[in-house]
Amino acid sequence: MYADQETVRRILTESGDTWAVVGLSGNTARAAYGVAGVLQRFGKRVVPVHPKAETVHGEKGYATLADVPFPVDVVDVFVNSQLAGKVADEAVEIGAKAVWFQLDVVDVSAYERTRDAGLEMVMDRCPAIEIPKLG
């Protein structure tokens, strides 16, 4: 319902290749770490955004989206649903083109606000699952 296949395709192929991954740290056991690696293998620049601001997958990390000193195309959100709306609002503020809420991250109000602001959005899906389907 919150991720038609055409929107998924557009975000993965047309929205740009700089992806801020919010919640990405150096913890290799976390899903964000593995998904970021898949995104890199498919040509995306992954920008870690986490309070620790760690370098992950060879990319310098930043504590917040506002700290990233260059344009971000897509904001991939790996925080829990209660925090995700704030991140979506920050994505709008920094001028991102799209927001992607990971599996089990659902905030209908944030989805509506983000879409109303003119951004593409996918909710409750994983780009690491979707991107290989594109061929």
Look-up of token digits 């195309």: 73
Whole-number Å distance between alpha carbons of 84 and 88: 6
Q: Which pLDDT tens digit goes with each residue over 68-82?
A: 999 999 999 999 999
pLDDT at 3 over 90: no
pTM of the model: 0.96
For 54-74, letters b (16+ CB in 10 Å) and e give: eebbebebbeebeebeeebbb
